[in-house]
Structure 1
């Protein structure tokens, strides 16, 4: 009766240490390689290869004479297998993407987030796919302290705001309510809808502040260092901004701070002005998100009297040239320029 050589072992399954012990026992008892293969559940060629690789030439002395024998040792076979497995492993992914990781650290120091760096690299084709790692892997490397960046450096990861903003109705609006703003502006469908705000350093009432305007669709930012948080200072800066950008400004949304008391009249004939509900900063979410990024360079408590307009301009450029995930990894400047038709 012919032996059944059907193999029940899954393809790619390697011999185990226990199976090598079984092979050694059957081989010592004189079983043929074909019978051993049938017992273990592998093809005969696997047994041929295994015995050849695990055979050790032995020398014995009997009555002063040397005798040579070739014996299969499962421990030797297992050791050889383990050694080969270590040698055939693919090189560490970390070592293969070091050029990308160097670029990542450099861009991170410029204020880019891990997701922005990975996403923009893919969009621009700066690296081949196997030369990069995903955003998740970048965070993993940071958690494992394999980079010079630490978790404490990840501003967005360490500072998560979960505050609930509640609207208080007792403060009077300075002009038309945000509820009157066109739906197209709410949905960012049209180009030219801006949000305006001021950033304060020291809260002593008589220091310089930074005036910011953000175009809602492109996230393009306009920043100006002004003399104070008062209506006259804002009006003066807005005259210059109106001269340079008035042709593209369709609307401006502000809060009810006294510095914006004259904004409606300053922009009369140029754009519509809307005011958010008092104490509801969430209605100007784009402003709030950008202010957090600006605070990395201009932290609360810093005297803005001590900074130069050039620093504000450099922060403006950095933000406008930073790719954003929500912009499909384009930069605000790229979108702003395309929308302007420049």
Structure 2
């Protein structure tokens, strides 16, 4: 109906100048309107992609009678003065859409619940669950049982005791409170510790949690680590190499001491258990001691005894000069 309008499809309608309906049961309403899309039954789930949200649809629940077009590609019309829809297949007005958005913005529950019955919790993904509060569970079969826990990935798990625990990565496990398992298959194994003994530290140590990037069966390197500056910073391999070089230099210096020790203080104190096997050099003529203690060798006394013994024997020897004791 209308100048130059064409209705080619079976039971199709074209109303308006230059309108065209080329598919069966299609309707082209208004000048230059075109109805040319073939409607087939099908369905698609709503999903989130890198480019945004893909809206799902389902046209398998009834008979499809065709499409109504009020324009053409690049040529559109508004549909105005539409009453609010009341049934599932009614058109929705802008007012209804605004009310729906406003309800989401003002609801006491801040996040939508999917497989989660607790307040302010989010569960997204097939069989992702949780009933505890203030959590995030995202990914298929992800389970968060600890309050304020976070689980992201396929089959990740945050145990009930792991309050504030975080597990990120497929099959990651946060088994302890305030601890983090990062990466596929990573697990926390000890959690926070109190008064534990750390390697090469005399004082007891404390920690508030654990950060794990692997498990007992598989470890990861942590790369691109800046050199640490504070006592609790991580140390990188570059810093360790500098320390090794200094230790090697000190070891060489100690080796070069050989048998000489110079510039000692005027005393040596607290020698444990005495000195054994003193080896003298050619320039060492005697040792002088001034002690009366047990097991002491006082050479001055030996000299006195020799004088008392040898002097009376001098007349009896023909070579007494060698036996003279000063």
TM-score (structure 2 length as normaliser): 0.18
- Relative to total residues, which structure has the larger helix share, 1 or 2? 1
Q: Choose 1 or 2 for highest CA Rg.
A: 2
